[in-house]
Amino acid sequence: TLVWLGANPLAGALTAATAFSYLFLYTPLKTLTSWCTLVGSLPGAIPPIIGTAAKLGHVDHMGWLLFALLFCWQIPHFMALAVMCRDDYARGGFKVATVDDPSGRSASLWAMAFIIPMIFVAGKIAMTFFEPGYTGQLGGFKSPYLWVSLLAGAWFFKLSLDFALPHRRAEVAKPFFLASILYLPVVLLTLTLNRLF
pLDDT at 48: 95
Q: Using 50, 70 and 90 to split pLDDT, how confident is the model at 137?
A: low
Rounded-to-integer distance, Cα 152 and Cα 186, Å: 8
Nearest one of 70, 88, 179, 115 to 96, comparing CA atoms: 88
DSSP letter string over 49-106? HHHHHHHHSS--HHHHHHHHHHHHHHHHHHHHHHHHTHHHHHHHT---HHHH-TT-HH
pLDDT at 175: 97
Average confidence (pLDDT) over 90-117 = 95
Average confidence (pLDDT) over 70-86 = 97
Q: How far is CA 58 from the centre of its chain?
A: 22
Residue 60 has pLDDT above 70, yes or no: yes
pLDDT at 130: 57
Residue 143 has pLDDT above 80, yes or no: no
How far are the Cα atoms of 22, 23, 25, 31, 40 from residue 19, in angstroms, in the given order? 5, 6, 10, 19, 11
Residue 165 has pLDDT above 60, yes or no: yes
Residue 176 has pLDDT above 50, yes or no: yes
pLDDT at 139: 58
Rounded-to-integer distance, Cα 76 and Cα 179, Å: 10
Residue 136 has pLDDT above 50, yes or no: no
